[in-house]
Amino acid sequence: MRFQATHKLASYVLVAVAMASLAAAGLVAPLAAALAFAGLLLSWFAEPTSFLGVLIAGRGALPARLIAVAFLALTVWEVAAHLPEPDLSPIISLLLFLVVFKLFHRRSNRDYLHLYILSFLLILAAAAFAQSAVFLVGFWLYVLLTTWTLMLFHLRREMEENYLVKHSTQAPSQKVGVHRILNSRRVVGRWFFVLTAGVAVVIFAGALVTFMLVPRVGAGFVLGGPKPRRFLVGFSDEVALGQSGFLSSDNRAVALRATVPRLASLDAAARDRELENLYWRGTVYDTYDHGHWARSRTPGLATDLEPLGRQWMVKEPGFRGSSPFPPLANTIRQEIDIVGLQVPVAFGLDQPIAFELQDAQPGVGAAAELRLVPRWSSEVALRLFSRASSSVSESEEGRTAGGAHYVVFSRDSLAHASAQSGMPIDELDPDLLRPYLALPSELSPRVQALARTITAGKPSASAKLQAVIDWLGRTHGYSTQLKRHTAVADPLEDFLFEQKAGHCEYFASAAAVLLRAAGVPTRYVNGFLGGEWNALGEHVTVRQNRAHSWAEAYLGEFGWVRVDATPSIKASRSMSRLSEMVDSLELWWSRWVVSYDFARQIDLARSLGKRLGLLPSPGGRAADGALSWRRHKVGFINGAAALVLGFGVMQWRRRRPRRSEERIRRIPSGTPVGQLYEKALRRLAAGGFPRRPSETPREYLERARTVGLQGWEVLERITAHYEDARFGGALVEEGIVRALARRIAELVPSSEATGITKVTAVTGG
Amino acid sequence: MPSNTVPTPLPRRSGQRPVWYRRFPPTREGWYFLTATLLIGLAALNAGLNPLFLIWGAMLSLILMSGVLSELCIRDIEVRRHLPPVIHAGTPYLMGIAFHNKKKRLPSFSVEVEDLLEGSPIEKRCYFLKVPAGRAQETAYRTTARRRGRYHLSGFRVSTRFPFGLIQKSRDIASPCDVLVYPALVPVPASLLKGLPTPHGRGSTHWRSRRGDFFGLREFRQGDDPRDIHWRTSARRGAPFVREMEDDEGKEATLVLDNGAVAEGPGAHEQAFENAVSLAASVARTLLGRGYRVGLVTRDAEIRPDGGPGQATRIMRLLATIGRVGADSPRLDSATAHARIRITPGKPPVVERAFELARTPA
């Protein structure tokens, strides 16, 4: 490919990659991205001599500049309007506009340089807000293309400034046209790009090494946060039946990922069964009123977070009393990565009893801190606070932070139902129970009658609970196609008596309300159900379409128990291989890049040291790691010796003269004519006329003739015979050699050779 | 220092830098890049944004690779000088530079070569865009020596901004070479050549070539009688040689250059001396070009009259380095019976013995 075209193509692809990375980071509206790419493609044809280029430079020059100024003014105004918390989106749009503007106005090397700088700013913006592993791909491509492009740009500039200068002694040097060399195919070829791709690999590796090793000790400002992701309604302070999130197979965005070690140890069949019973508990509501669930914010229902080492234990003091916490070793540990939710909720498997936060969180600057905030009904929220704030309560300054990473310890509310998880109902404070038993005053009497009918003859709360579940399962069906009988005001009543079909929210609400009518304290819970097992990353991926609602009923000593009255629905539990790879990559990106922190660096160094046997085990004795001295003593010695030997050989090969040079420079002094030639050289060198190292014998002879060396004819004969012997393999007669040896005295060195006579006395006058 | 000129000789530097010594100052773009790297590093450390560490690491690695690749370009190379046969002060000349890439596999890209005069670059660069492995390329630079004399070219400075134009790495390669700059050539006044026979055409002869005793053999010059060719010597030497007769010296001239210092101090006299030297060189060159045997006599040296390119070289070499001697140095006069021109600095040249008229053919 011709050099100039290659340089242009590389520059364009570089800019395209930067734009794509920016778009992948979600910083650009789809329309703006499409326009930018269209401009990129169109500008390819806007060469200075083309019709489009002439048009732009001519009539289009003034309008283009006016548009640019207007865009700049608009950007300044938009940024100023959002102060003191500036929005970076207008600045990014301005950058895109400038890139396209510059692409249409490529005239000189300086314009290309400006393009590269702008593309770098784009990639910088993408890096600042990248939340997906797609950035890593874009970054690698950018490194590769930058390596190529900068090299080509450098060569092009050097060509235009230095190359093809016509020299002449009669006239000053002139630069000739560079178009020929710019259109040459011989400047760079396939191997150039292959080898420079290797350079790019090294640069990329260096970037990774820097990333791994530089300690994270930031203590400064926080940039503007990323744009809020899709906000799934259903996890807010109030939920409305029929308007909130529901099971939708269309919404496959990942909500969270969870690493559950217990699942990894199960076989596939057992794991599939477990997946069906993964209830990711989120928000909890205690007040129902005419199709709405809300929180009463009763002080007694507030969650209590008690610190215990690095963990925060979740307590409902009014319901647990003084019962001790179960040991965490007996709980289900999960490592949660919130991905696609900008919600203040700390999700965890039902029922979470402890939380543990990392020191650094993705998307959180060093000046901010993610904290656990207790809410109600054992619900825990995540809030972002500035480090200067001393209050842990919900602050107006606090912002939610999507992408949080934390650890949860949960107990299975059903599996541990026999444990002493709660206090008997009659021992509870009636004020605490009142919200969980409250029914709206407008609730239809037939709902209460229905509850009595269903639970008739069931003395215990658990029996009532089972009766309600059975009845709902028997009489109602699952459907996401919601219909409403407008004459019935309460959607729940409509569901129970008219529609007899609905989704999980209706089933959960119906169970909660019916049980309350039967005297069983209940509450309403929103969360997620199940997930997809990623065999590659050994984690569970929970998508938005797994949002689910259920109820919790208080069964005295058994505490709060999960009540899921929704008929079971089959959902995909596995992913394709490609999906697993992409999903694992995203999880790896989230944990090892975005949330890589100093603590993880220390852990990494420790684990590496233990693996290599460089660190002692807890018992004090150095472990026999992979590279322990004891195990590989001989190998170490051999390896060190091989290294030293190899280095020595390398140095010897570098320093010794090359064979060809040696052959050329070595005079066959073993032969008489060789010795004769050496003798002649020594005589002349002693006289101040040495042969230069870079001179051939013939060049030396010519130089001697030029300076008028006396006895030149003798040197000429000696040189001729010497060359015949050395290069022609001829045998020179000894007689000739002796005769020439006698004439060596005719070789007059130095001042005599120049013919200049030094005069010290007057000779005549 | 004006361009295209070579400065006056400087004293030689004592001591040389080690072989591994390199210079690598950043270019203007390099300074911008370094500043950007610093700022991004600070931003990454300050904000704790992990992807910025990737960007920062890539920038640092790019700087490192720039140093490595530029080093590869200027390693395992050989540079040679191809001097012009004659260099006169004030006359532009082309200095040939040959660049040989001795690497087995890797090419050298974007290399600049500068000559070093007494260790300092003369600011005339030769550029090599791409020299494949094992290949050599030649180019030249045009320059003008301002003054006559001996110049010591100590070596070359080889530099490159490859691959990214951020750093200009350079190294010095020792390649000592003494260059002798002959005096400037000036127009010879017609009065000095009065009586000088006109140049002969090919094949014509106007002087006796067979008269006199055998003197020796010399190279054939244009105008010589082909019958005087000494064939045996010519066959052996591969070039025509003629017998030189003693009385064949009608075309002989001696230049007398008085290089005694004037009693008064230097200044204007310095320029007058240089003018005299230039005139002597120009006259000698003119006469030699017309087939004369020319000799040169100064207060401290003498060159016997002779002809041919070798004689021109001898005379030019003497005039290139001649200096003023003491005012009390004895004057040297040639006892020649042939034409003699005396050149005294500050005074008009004098034809002490005129040229003979052209002789009639034998």
DSSP, residue by residue, A222-262: -PPPPPP----TTSSSEEETTTS----TT---EEEEEE-HH
pLDDT attached to residue B2: 26
pLDDT for position B209: 42
Give yes or no: residues A91 and A190 share one domain: yes
Which of A184-193, A703-712, A756-765, B1-10 has the lowest average pLDDT?
B1-10
Kindly list the residues from chain A whose CB atom is less than 8 angstroms away from the CB atom of residue B301: 756-759
What value does the mean pLDDT take over residues A232-257?
A: 66
Residue ranges per structural domain of chain B: 3-180, 190-211+250-352, 213-246
Q: Is residue A571 part of a domain?
A: no
Measured CA to CA, the distance from residue A82 to residue A131 in angstroms comes to: 24
pLDDT score recorded for residue A572: 60
What integer pLDDT is reported at residue A657 of this predicted model? 58
pLDDT surpassing 70 at residue A219? no
Enclosing domain of residue A636: 613-656
Residue B98 has pLDDT above 50, yes or no: yes
Output the pLDDT for position A402.
56
Percent of chain A with pLDDT over 90: 18
Indicate whether A155 and A281 sit together in one domain. Answer: no
Omega of the bond prior to B163 within 30 degrees of 0, cis?
yes
| Token pair recorded at residue A27 | 């910083």
Q: pLDDT grade, residue A365 (50/70/90)? A: low
In sequence order, what are the residues at sequence separation of 6 or more whose Cβ sits closer than 8 angstroms to the Cβ of residue A345? A235, A282, A283, A379, A380, A381, A382
Element (H or E) spanning B341, and its range?
Answer: strand B339-343
CB proximity A154 to B under 8 Å: yes
Given CB atoms, is B80 within the 8 Å cutoff of chain A?
Answer: yes
pLDDT at A510 over 90: yes
Tell me the three state secondary structure of residue B18.
Answer: coil
Q: Are the beta carbons of B317 and A154 separated by less than 8 Å?
A: no
pLDDT above 60 for B85 = yes
Shortest CA distance from B166: residue in chain A: A154
Interval A108-161: pLDDT, tens: 888 899 999 999 999 998 988 877 788 888 999 999 999 999 999 998 888 877
pLDDT in tens, B236-250: 888 988 887 654 446
Contact B142 A173 (CB under 8 A): yes
- Mean pLDDT (whole number) for A84-112: 85
Weakest mean pLDDT among A70-79, A508-517, B17-26: B17-26
A174 belongs to a structural domain: yes
Q: Do A206 and B125 touch (CB under 8 A)?
A: no
Domain match, A157 and A197 both: yes
Looking at A459-468, A584-593, B195-204, which range is the least confident one? B195-204
Question: Which residue of chain A has the CA closest to B45?
Answer: A218
Residues A258, A369: one domain? yes
A220 shares contact with chain B (CB less than 8 Å):
yes
> For residue A485, how far is the Cα from the chain centroid?
51
Q: What is the mean pLDDT of residues A738-764?
A: 60
Average pLDDT along chain B: 80
Max Cα separation, chain B? 104
Mark yes or no for CB contact B51/A708 under 8 Å: no
Q: How confident is the model at residue A225 (pLDDT cuts 50, 70, 90)?
A: very low
Grade residue A360 by pLDDT with cuts at 50, 70 and 90: low
Residue A753: its pLDDT value, please? 44
Residues in chain A closer than 8 A to B47 (CB atoms): 218, 220-223, 365-366
- Asked if residue A345 has pLDDT above 70, the reply is yes
Domain end (from A527, A546, A563):
A563
Output A44 or A363, whichever has higher pLDDT.
A44
A757 pLDDT more than 60: no
Residue B163 predicted with pLDDT over 90: yes
Burial class (CB in 10 A: 0-12, 13-18, 19+), B192: buried
- Tell me what pLDDT residue B8 has: 37
Look up the CATH architecture of domain B3-180.
Sandwich (2.60)
Q: At residue A354, what is the residue type?
A: A
Given a cut of 70, whether residue A175 has pLDDT beyond it is no
| Residues from chain B contacting residue A157 (CB–CB below 8 Å) | 165
Rounded to 10 deg, the angle between the A3-24 and A89-104 helix axes is 160
The pLDDT value recorded for residue B250 is 60
Q: Which two tokens stand for residue A266?
A: 């199960």
Quick one: pLDDT at residue A551? 93
Residue B358 has pLDDT above 60, yes or no: no
Which among B46, B139, B314 has the least Cβ separation from residue A218?
A: B46
**DSSP assignment string, B85-107:** S--BTTSEEEEEEEEEE--SS--
- CB atoms closer than 10 angstroms to residue A406: 22
| Summary mean pLDDT of chain A | 79
Residue A419 scores a pLDDT above 80: no
Residue B354 has pLDDT above 80, yes or no: no
Percent with pLDDT over 70 in chain B = 80
Cα–Cα distance for residue pair A121/B188, rounded to 1 Å: 69
At A218, the pLDDT band (50, 70, 90 cuts) reads low
Quick one: pLDDT band at residue A170, thresholds 50, 70, 90? low
Is residue A421 in a domain? yes
3-state secondary structure of B119: coil
Task: Give the pLDDT of residue B208.
Answer: 40
Q: Give the integer Cα–Cα distance in Å for A343 and A401.
A: 7
Determine the average pLDDT of the residues in B220-224. 74
- Which of the two residues, B10 and B70, has the higher pLDDT score? B70
Smallest CA–CA distance from A114 into chain B, residue: B29
Pair (A321, A202) in one structural domain: no
pLDDT in tens, A601-652: 887 888 888 777 766 655 544 445 555 566 667 777 888 888 899 888 888 8
- Residue bearing the bigger pLDDT, A61 or A574: A61
Identify which of A15, A21, A12 has the alpha carbon closest to the alpha carbon of residue A124. A21
pLDDT (0 to 100) of residue B7 = 38
Query: How many domains, chain A?
Result: 4
Contact state of B48 with A366 under an 8 Å Cβ cutoff: yes
Who wins on pLDDT, A57 or B323?
B323
Using CA coordinates, name the residue in chain B closest to A593: B50
Using CB atoms and an 8 Å cut-off, which of residues 466-505 of chain A contact chain B? none
Q: Is the pLDDT of residue A760 over 50?
A: no
Assess whether A617 and A680 both reside in one domain: no
Sign of CA dihedral A80, A81, A82, A87: negative
Residue of A208, A755, A763 with shortest CB distance to B57: A208
* Interface membership of B156 toward A (CB under 8 Å): no
Do A652 and A675 lie in one domain? The reply is: no
Section A282-297 average pLDDT:
88
B129, B162, B237 member nearest A163 (Cβ): B129
Identity of the residue in A127, A165, A758 whose CB atom sits nearest the CB atom of B301: A758
**pTM of the full structure:** 0.67
Q: 3-class SS at B359?
A: coil
Task: Examine the domain organization and report whether A677 and A630 are in the same domain.
Answer: no
Same domain for A639 and A753?
Answer: no
What mean pLDDT comes out for the span A548-574?
82
* Domain-located, residue A622: yes
Using a CB-CB cut-off of 8 Å, the residues of chain A touching B58 are 139, 143, 203-204, 206-207
- Do A369 and A280 share a domain, yes or no? yes
